[in-house]
């Protein structure tokens, strides 16, 4: 019946799909037609045209689900289904998600709204939706078997409750969770305060995204769902750098970032050039006296953190997870560290047998960002992204906060790279170098001598154990 999909065009063309002529009025009165998104672009904020007004959020590489008002109730229609998600240019993953994408669309409502969500299951197994962090009747909490039967394939269930508490929430299945969350089923939920709230500030830009992770072998499309820790794709909203859009702001904007973690490990999220405060969790806004300045905050599994800062420094500021393995993309992990090993002669011999053989990493891994290594089809380069000064050498959970003086209010268009004022970029020192004074050269009795050095040098070769790279 309500299977006609509305495809959404370019930026700003999000339209509520409640006017399909092919569907009878009776059916339309019962069930809003689902709105489907086909692109991984960051859609502009969806300004509400019905209900109580609010300042909408921007979902990084995502979108907000349109609703219809039906006798004073905000009605949404989520469709749980297999999707193809472009994680970065040239790399697509076969995931499960909602309404055409993973993660699903952001749901935005206002404190006090009565909300009705139709959930249609187009997956091959049962599912349910848990509204993470919400106050609601127990029977609406979405835990399969405990609060409701699983939604069978092909069926639609209805959830209905009042959005009682303003804040930042998530939604995800509580049915075969290990599989369904590993496959990308999750989304964001924002409940805006209905009036000025003493602990919730007005902001100029309000970005949301989820931390998620996948294990997809190079050259394949479907995540390995049995993986517990050793993921190879660390993503924001199922995108990896350079596929993650920049967070574009106007200088002196007050900016809020709402970040939820549905991976299997914690992520210390780090912002360059500014200090922020954590103003809220999925438990609600934090008391003002509990806030202190930070440049990194750890977001544990199943948590949401709401960060706020004044974007008063112009520039292109890196913004990333501080776990260095989380800012790179798919690779085989079980390789020994080759730094300092000269294996040219070995390589020459191997090349006679295997023409494409390539040695990597004897001077660190940065060369990986520039070499043209043949990759299997549908594989994201490990460390990539090019900036105005060359290779950035990053992948995974990395983006850039672009602060610009001349960015228009409400304009999210990428302004390009920052034009640095003359004399404000680190450059090569080209004048003469002073010879540093070393202890064995230093004259005089006061020079320090090393103590207790063994007569012969001891060499230790450290080799990582195979498997389980994430535990360190
Ligand atoms: Cu991380």
DSSP 420: P
Q: Is residue 217 part of a domain?
A: no
- Give how many domains the chain has, as a whole number: 1
Distance CA 468, CA 197 (A): 45
Per-residue model confidence (pLDDT) at position 136: 97
State in Å: Cα 89 to ligand 1 middle. 21
In this prediction, residue 458 carries a pLDDT of: 72
pLDDT in tens, 282-291: 999 999 999 9
Instruction: Decide if pLDDT at 10 tops 50.
Output: no
Domain that holds residue 75: 6-176
- pLDDT, mean of residues 164-182: 93
**What distance in angstroms lies between residue 9's CA and the mean position of ligand 1's atoms?**
33
For residue 144, pLDDT over 60 is answered with yes
Residue 294 confidence class, pLDDT cut points 50, 70, 90: very high
Lowest mean pLDDT among 24-38, 153-167, 270-284: 24-38
| Cα-to-centroid distance, 280 and ligand 1 (Å) | 20
The per-residue pLDDT for 19 is: 40
Prediction pTM value:
0.81
| Weakest-pLDDT range from 24-28, 90-94, 143-147, 180-184 | 24-28
Q: Is residue 50 a contact partner of residue 93, using CB atoms and an 8 Å limit?
A: no
CA Rg, the chain, in Å? 26
Q: Rounded CA gap, 248 and 88, in Å? A: 19
Of 193, 186, 139, 196, whose CA–CA distance to 163 is shortest? 193
Omega into 184 within 30° of 0, i.e. cis? no
**105: in domain:** yes
Average pLDDT of the residues in 134-139: 97
145 Cα: distance to centroid of ligand 1 (angstroms) = 33
Tokens 């596929």, residue located: 243
Stretch 289-303: mean pLDDT = 96
Q: Is the pLDDT of residue 378 over 60?
A: yes
- Is the residue at 376 inside a domain? no
Whole-number Cα distances in Å, 370 to 33, 383, 387, 390: 47, 9, 13, 9
Percent of the chain with pLDDT strictly greater than 70:
77
469 or 188, which is more confident? 188
CA of 300 to the centre of ligand 1 (A): 10
Residue 423 predicted with pLDDT over 80: yes
Strand 205-214, strand 58-59: pairing: parallel
Q: What pairs with residue 318 in β-bridges?
A: 400
Q: Is residue 450 domain-resident?
A: no
Per-residue three-class SS string for 262-297: CCCCCEEEEECCCCEEEEEECCEECCHHHCCCECEE
Per-residue pLDDT of 208-256, as tens digits, reads 999 999 988 887 888 888 887 788 889 999 999 999 999 999 999 999 9
Contact 251, 403 (CB under 8 A): yes
Residue 322 alpha carbon to ligand 1 centre in Å: 6
Mean of pLDDT values over 378-397: 81
CATH of the domain at 72: 2.60.40.420
Span from the CA of 34 to the centroid of ligand 1 (angstroms)? 33
Average pLDDT, integer, range 421-432: 93
Ligand 1 centroid to 86 CA: how many Å? 20
207 belongs to a structural domain: no
pLDDT at 131 over 80: yes
* pLDDT surpasses 90 at 119: yes
Encoded tokens for 281: 């969790």
Residue 63 lies in a domain: yes
Section 29-44 average pLDDT: 88
pLDDT for 461:
74
Residue 31 inside a domain? The answer is yes
CA of 211 to the centre of ligand 1 (A): 8
The CA 462 to ligand 1 mean position distance, Å, reads 25
Assigned token pair, 329:
């993309």
Q: Is residue 262 part of a domain?
A: no
Distance 312 CA to ligand 1 centre (A): 26
Per-residue pLDDT tens for 395-415? 899 999 999 999 999 999 999
106-118: average pLDDT: 97
Q: How far is the CA of 292 from the centre of ligand 1 (A)?
A: 22
The mean pLDDT of the chain is 84
Residue 7's pLDDT is what? 32
- Determine how many CB atoms are found less than 10 A away from the CB of residue 99: 25
Report the separation in Å between the CA atom of 52 and the middle of ligand 1, taken as the mean of its atom positions: 37
CA–centroid distance, 36 to ligand 1, in Å, is 30
Q: 2 pLDDT band (50/70/90 cuts)?
A: very low
Q: Residues 357-369: what's their mean pLDDT?
A: 58
Confidence of residue 146 (pLDDT cuts 50, 70, 90): very high
Residue 470 Cα to ligand 1 middle (Å):
10
Q: How far is the CA of 165 from the centre of ligand 1 (A)?
A: 29
Token digits of residue 288: 């003002």
């Amino acid at each position: 019946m309500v299977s006609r999909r509305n495809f959404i065009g370019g930026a700003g063309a999000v339209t509520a799909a409640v006017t399909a002529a092919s569907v009878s009025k009776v059916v339309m009165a019962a069930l809003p037609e689902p709105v489907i998104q086909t692109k991984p672009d960051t859609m502009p904020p969806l300004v509400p045209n019905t209900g109580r007004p609010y300042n909408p959020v921007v979902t990084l590489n995502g979108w907000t689900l349109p609703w219809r008002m039906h006798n004073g109730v905000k009605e949404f229609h989520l469709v749980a289904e297999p999707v193809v998600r472009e994680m970065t240019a040239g790399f697509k993953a076969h995931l499960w998600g909602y309404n055409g994408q993973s993660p699903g669309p952001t749901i935005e409502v206002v404190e006090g709204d009565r909300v009705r969500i139709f959930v249609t299951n187009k997956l091959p197994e049962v599912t349910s939706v848990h509204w993470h962090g919400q106050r609601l009747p127990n029977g609406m909490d979405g835990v399969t078997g405990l609060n409701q039967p699983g939604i069978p394939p092909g069926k639609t269930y209805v959830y209905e409750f009042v959005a009682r508490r303003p804040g930042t929430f998530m939604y995800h299945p509580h049915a075969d969770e290990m599989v369904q969350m590993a496959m990308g089923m999750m989304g964001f939920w924002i409940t805006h305060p209905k009036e000025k709230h003493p602990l919730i500030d007005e902001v100029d830009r309000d970005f949301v995204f989820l931390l998620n992770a996948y294990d997809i072998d190079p050259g394949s499309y479907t995540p390995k769902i049995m993986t517990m820790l050793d993921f190879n794709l660390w993503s924001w909203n199922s995108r990896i750098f350079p596929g993650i859009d920049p967070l574009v702001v106007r200088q002196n904007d007050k900016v809020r970032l709402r970040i939820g973690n549905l991976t299997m490990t914690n992520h210390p999220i780090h912002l360059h050039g500014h200090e922020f405060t954590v103003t809220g969790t999925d438990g609600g806004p934090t008391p003002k006296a509990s806030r202190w300045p930070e440049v990194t905050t750890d977001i544990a599994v199943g948590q949401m953190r709401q960060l706020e800062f004044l974007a008063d420094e112009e520039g292109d500021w890196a913004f990333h997870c501080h776990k260095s393995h989380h800012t790179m993309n798919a690779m085989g992990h079980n390789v020994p560290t080759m730094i300092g090993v000269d294996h040219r002669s070995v390589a020459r011999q191997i090349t006679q047998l295997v023409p494409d053989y390539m040695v990597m990493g004897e001077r660190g891994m940065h060369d990986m960002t520039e070499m043209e290594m043949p990759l299997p089809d549908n594989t994201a380069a490990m460390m990539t992204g090019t900036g105005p000064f060359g290779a950035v050498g990053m992948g995974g959970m990395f983006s850039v906060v672009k602060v610009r003086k001349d960015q228009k209010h409400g304009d999210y268009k990428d302004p390009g790279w920052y034009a640095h004022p003359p004399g404000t970029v680190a450059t090569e020192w080209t004048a003469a170098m002073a010879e540093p004074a070393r202890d064995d050269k230093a004259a005089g009795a006061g020079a320090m001598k090393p103590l207790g050095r063994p007569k012969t040098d001891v060499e230790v070769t450290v080799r990582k154990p195979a498997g389980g790279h994430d535990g360190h």
